[in-house]
Structure 1
């Protein structure tokens, strides 16, 4: 089994904490982001590296699964996959295996210790990630899993270094961007948002990650 990393699944480990409540609040905001229909599939990305998007994916998925909805995480970050390490599960068979080797989809989906939550890891890292996410096979796979799960969350690489998230936007109904406090610059965030708007992505919102109370207070007063 892979080595467990110290990335907290705080929604599972400390469900009454303020951070866990924030993920539940994000879940509620996503649910109410569209009045015409339920959101069934989400891309989670970031502007730059190291913003905490994969941790956000994992905790948001747990928050959804604990409401009784069936949730599938797909690790679409085929450049720097993390889900197998976060959940301490095997990465022998995953997304790339299904798309290239045509392994059965059921072999690539693993259950987790959270009821209602499953994960499809990345599988072997391929040489052409953006082409894979934009392929017809990927489109067909997404349609299949969306018919089987209440919610599918696709983790993708950050926007500015790579085009993968842009290419994948037609696969999902909305995009959530993770922003680390003190991480990406405002210029980079604006540029990343513009790249999503350019491809017609429906941006559901942004998550301010690892923000201190002082940071939030400063941001509030700057907007007054």
Structure 2
């Protein structure tokens, strides 16, 4: 089903952004499993098949959080597709040390099939769809009929599809994709994310009819508490 990565591009365990693969017994990895548990409990009465992870602004740990959430769900036995839907500044191909010649943009523009674009990873049950070439119209692509077709096809082949999107306050992409997903998780950075920005991002997601499951707080000082938290929202 999936293309194998070039041997020169094989994932190296030195990549600390994938700590749940590097050191699954670490306290941080345990916190990611706590996030997984809380996501599952927040949707106990409904099937969660599509999950979006975003942030209010850049540099808050959104992509690292997305990658590791995808990994811990795969480690649980679910067949997971991680989609880099940040079509402006994609990073998943760097994190997983792979190519980005063919990806989501190629699928949405009918230049490639989903089967041909998906790549395997070194984590069992985890598959990766990189962004593909950066397009001139990211928001239009994410809101297109092709995206709806992509979601339908992906749901047939995977238990869970997880999207990494651009920050909410930077562009409209996350809002467009939010109401297409079963749930949304927002990442904020301790000591960096301003309260006003976080509140504004939440308001924009709610106005886009997103189902906000909760907020991940990262970069919290270990002297004060655990490294990662997960808060549910009402």
* TM-score normalised by L of structure 2: 0.88
Pair 1:200-2:209 in alignment? yes
Pair 1:161-2:170 in alignment? yes
Partner of 1:15: 24
Deviation of the 1:180 alpha carbon: 1.0
* Residue 81 of structure 2, aligned match among 54, 67, 72: 72
Inter-partner Cα distance in structure 2 for 1:201 and 1:167: 9
Runs of 4+ residues deviating >2 angstroms: 1-8, 213-217
Inter-partner Cα distance in structure 1 for 2:64 and 2:225: 20
CA contact (8 A) 1:31 1:38 kept: no
Deviation of the 1:6 alpha carbon: 4.7
| 1:177-197 Cα distance to aligned partner (Å, 9 max, x none) | 011111220000000000011
Pair 1:186-2:202 in alignment? no
Q: What SS does structure 1 have at the residue aligned with 2:163?
A: strand
Deviation of the 1:199 alpha carbon: 1.2
* Residue 209 of structure 1, aligned match among 206, 218, 222: 218
Deviation of the 1:213 alpha carbon: 2.8
Deviation of the 1:38 alpha carbon: 2.6
Inter-partner Cα distance in structure 2 for 1:124 and 1:162: 18
Partner of 2:112: 103
Q: 1:101 to 1:7 in 2, by over 3 A?
A: farther
Q: 1:63 to 1:34 in 2, by over 3 A?
A: same
How many positions carry a matched residue from both structures? 217
How well do the aligned residues superpose, as a CA RMSD in angstroms? 1.7
Structure 1 residues without counterparts, runs of 5 or longer: 218-224
Partner of 2:231: none
Structure 2 residues without counterparts, runs of 5 or longer: 1-7, 227-234
* Residue 136 of structure 1, aligned match among 134, 141, 145: 145
* TM-score normalised by L of structure 1: 0.92
